[in-house]
Amino acid sequence: MRSAADLKKEIESRLKAYLKRDKNGIRHELLTIFVNTKSLSIARTHELLAAKFRVSIQSVASMVGTIASKIGILRIRKDKDNATAIYELKDQYADLVRRMVGVV
């Protein structure tokens, strides 16, 4: 079983690789939005990104899904009554993400 420190190093490595493939800054912006806002729906995330980038809601959903499942820094919360999923930055990775995207 991995220790917490090993897991954090693995997450950091995945995040670096993800950000390295960022051609136009949209991935950095998406992570910055999560650092500053903490929890968002796909629709709200799309609204915020569409103000700066030409992006479809499907692209935003794909990026958020990748960050949640492959990188593992987002938690998904879904209310029973509401079918809308809310994505939240996990507290234990907030400082790591903040450092990597340069948010003070």
Residue labelled with tokens 């709200």 = 44
Structure tokens at 33: 């939005």
Count of helix runs (H) and strand runs (E) in the chain: 5, 3
| pLDDT tens string 64-80 | 999 999 999 999 998 77
Amino acid, res. 84 = T
> Alpha-carbon distance 102 to 104, whole Å?
6
What CA–CA distance (Å, rounded) separates 12 from 43? 27
pLDDT tens, residue by residue, 13-44: 999 999 999 999 999 999 999 999 988 999 99
CB 103 within 8 A of CB 35: yes
pLDDT band of residue 103 (cuts 50, 70, 90) is low
**Domains identified in the chain and CATH numbers:** 4-101 (1.10.10.10)
pTM of the model: 0.89
